Amino acid sequence: MPVPPPERIAELVSGPIEREGYDLEDVVVTSAGKHSTVRLFVDSDTGLSLDEAARLSTLLSEVFDSVADFGESPYVLEVTSPGIGRPLTLERHWRRSQARKARIELDDETIVGRIGELVGDEVRIVVPGRDGPSVRVLPLADVRRAVVEVEFKAPNPRELELAGGVPDGRVRAGEIAESDGEDPDDENGTDYNGTDEVKVDK
């Protein structure tokens, strides 16, 4: 029996994840021969720590063990936070990305600026200028696509101030290794990719 499709997996894990105070952002299933990898992207307003990723992995592994959908199929369960490059499609994505730089596509232009506070159905964007950064207000309905960009250095303090600062529990831009692509394993052999990922082999 193959691993269930992403829709069925989402149905199984959404409830337990929400009860723990997190949101399921995506489910990705990849197969290589008889082996599959089930990757769950999970987030919250205060992010996802490595310890919490490990705890959720254990919890969700038990959920999978309690149903017949997986049969005897070998799989690896990975719980990770979405990381850089995720499209901002929901209001919570904008809220949780406050103070991060993003590329925002509108109908007639593309803006690169720092995400500020979300107020109702509008978001404040801090944009650079010759006379210093300023704030521009964008209706979310006008955004065609928006993606957080990788930053290799600490942001301009004035931009951060205008953006309203970094929300509690979120990582400040430039403070994690977003560029090297080579992340250390912890002393217990758990894979860590900078976005708090834990793997469980089944």
Which stretches does DSSP call E strand in the chain? 23-32, 35-43, 75-80, 101-105, 110-119, 122-127, 134-139, 145-148, 198-201
Looking from the CA of 176 toward its CB, the CA atoms found within 13 Å total 18
Indicate the pTM of the whole model: 0.77
Nearest CA among 200, 202, 197, 193 for reference residue 41 = 197
In sequence order, what are the residues at sequence separation of 6 or more whose Cβ sits closer than 8 angstroms to the Cβ of residue 14? 24
- Pick the range with the lowest mean pLDDT from 8-12, 63-67, 145-149: 63-67
pLDDT digits (tens, 9 = 90+) for 87-124: 999 999 999 999 999 999 999 999 999 999 999 999 99
Q: Are 50 and 186 in contact (CB under 8 A)?
A: yes
Which of the listed CATH numbers 3.40.50.300, 2.30.30.100, 3.90.550.10, 3.40.50.1370 matches domain 91-163? 2.30.30.100
Which tokens in the block code for residue 67? 């149903």
DSSP one-letter code for 109: -
Task: Tell me the average pLDDT across 118-132.
Answer: 95
d(CA 32, CA 163): 44
pLDDT digits (tens, 9 = 90+) for 25-69: 999 999 888 889 999 999 999 889 999 999 999 999 999 999 888
Beta strands 75-80 and 35-43: pairing type? Answer: parallel
Which stretches does DSSP call E strand in 81-128? 101-105, 110-119, 122-127
Q: Are 158 and 132 in contact (CB under 8 A)?
A: yes
Summary count for the chain: helices (H), strands (E): 4, 9
Domain boundaries, the chain: 6-80, 91-163
Per-residue pLDDT for 180 more than 80?
Answer: no
Q: Is 12 helix (H, G, I), strand (E, B) or coil?
A: helix
In sequence order, what are the residues at sequence separation of 6 or more whose Cβ sits closer than 8 angstroms to the Cβ of residue 88? 94, 97, 102, 143, 146, 147, 148
Fold of 6-80: GMP Synthetase; Chain A, domain 3 (3.30.300)
The string over 47-81, giving b where at least 16 C-beta atoms fall within 10 Å of a residue's C-beta and e elsewhere, is: bbeeebbbebbeebbeebeeeebbeeeebebbbbb
